[in-house]
Amino acid sequence: MKFSCSTSDLLQSLQLVARAIGSQQALPILGNILIEAQGRRCTVSATDLELSIITSFDAKIENEGSVTVPAKAILNFAQYNNDPEVLLETSEGTILKCTSQHTKSSIAGEAASEYPTIAAVEKQTSFTLPLSPLLHALHLVTFSSTRTSLRPVLSGVYLRSEKNMVILVATDSYRLSEYKIAASVGTADIACIIPTKILEELKVMLSAKKGKEGKEDMKKKKDEGVKDEDVSIILSKQQIELQCGPTRLLSRLIDGKFPNYEQILPKETATTVHFSVQELTTAVKRMHYFAKEVNNNLTFHAGKGQTRVVTPQTPAGRDEALLTTEVSGKDNKIALSSSYLLDFLGHLDSDSINMQMTDSTHPALFILPDEKNYLHLIMPLRMQEE
């Protein structure tokens, strides 16, 4: 194998696929990256047997071939190389020589045949989603999934189709996020649980792609009516493949039944409180200092054009805030977790938000006034003495 390429293309591709490499590998070779040169492109791949990332870039290929090398070694070479182009070639079968104008490194690798095969997903269902809405949905949904493996179905995002919508839902049983994306999926009845890990990696990849465009490029595309780039989604019974541009992410789906979350969504609203996101965030950040002493407990008293937020008395003290809010419906109160509120508010890019309450024993429902396709739910805490 022998080819030359842009150092920046090589580095970006290596950094992207290396995210699939776990901190602990079941096999030593899983700490490697597979490099394949064929035709006019170089393909790099990495896997931890659960998640696989594959991407490619343009290269001037003299001899086709493949090799797998330790990720840390090849990343170290590419990251600290200031020359614009590099030449990669194998010698003695598995030694990768990396050469540029001012550098010359040799990396001991292994035969590509020793690397686990990353099989393509056997397509049963496929559809596309526009990049920008999908990225926005991931930002507002994935944080609500659980980070433990005690209930595997809650460590993923539930994806289902409904009429001309694709719906993403995540919950850890104490909070829940749902986002609906307009999409055409044909007559397919889609329902699967996608590991949050692969969607977090997709989010990083799409964010980087959007970041490269810049605001001027996005405005120009919008003014010229250029369609947003699509993300292709391929599903089989047990696997998913996500593709955007030359990059593919492959993962197993989570086996199991997602909870019937719709039954906990409040059927009626007794009180609606309209908050300024900035004012609410500032108050909760300050009050969290005391609230964290008592299970992150914050009590909201809503009524007569204002909302009083208080913490219980703690050994460290207590706090209270009086927020100017628009309140419609009856006077009401509810206790919520300051930690969950801060996590939720930190993901918002809106100026205002509505909190809908039934009573102190039912969950609070948060709606963005300018986004009717999104909702966030937080389960109530037991009311404590103030």
pLDDT, one tens digit per residue, over 33-69 is: 999 999 999 999 999 999 999 999 999 999 999 999 9
pLDDT at 385 over 80: no
* 147 pLDDT higher than 60: yes
* pLDDT band, residue 336 (cuts 50/70/90): very high
Chain-wide mean pLDDT for the chain?
93
At residue 219, the pLDDT reads 47
Q: Assess whether pLDDT exceeds 60 at residue 134.
A: yes
Segment 92-100 mean pLDDT: 95
pLDDT given at position 227: 62
Task: For 193-223, write each residue's pLDDT tens digit.
Answer: 999 999 999 999 999 888 765 444 444 544 4
Three-state SS string over the chain comes to CEEEEEHHHHHHHHHHHHHHCCCCCCCHHHHEEEEEEECCEEEEEEECCCEEEEEEEECEEEECEEEEEEHHHHHHHHHCCCCCEEEEEEECCCEEEEECCCCEEEEECECHHHCCCCCCCCCCEEEEEEHHHHHHHHHHHHHHCCCCCCCHHHHEEEEEEECCEEEEEEECCCEEEEEEEECCCCCCCCEEEEEHHHHHHHHHHHHHHHHHHHHHHHHHHHHCCCCCCEEEEEECCCEEEEEECCEEEEEECCCCCCCCHHHHCCCCCCEEEEEEHHHHHHHHHHHHHHHHHHCCEEEEEEECCEEEEECCCECCECCEEEEECEEEECCEEEEEEHHHHHHHHCCCCCCEEEEEECCCCCCEEEEECCEEEEEEEECCECCCCC
What integer pLDDT is reported at residue 223 of this predicted model? 47
Structure tokens at 378: 């937080």
pLDDT value for 367: 97
pLDDT of 213 = 54
The burial of 257, by beta-carbon neighbours within 10 Å (0-12 exposed, 13-18 middle, 19 or more buried), is given as exposed
Q: Which domains does the chain have, with CATH numbers?
A: 2-114 (3.10.150.10), 125-261 (3.10.150.10), 265-378 (3.10.150.10)
Q: What's this model's pTM, rounded to 2 decimal places?
A: 0.90
Average pLDDT over residues 131-149: 94
Inform me whether the pLDDT recorded for 186 exceeds 90. Answer: no
CA 303 – CA 271 distance, rounded (Å): 9
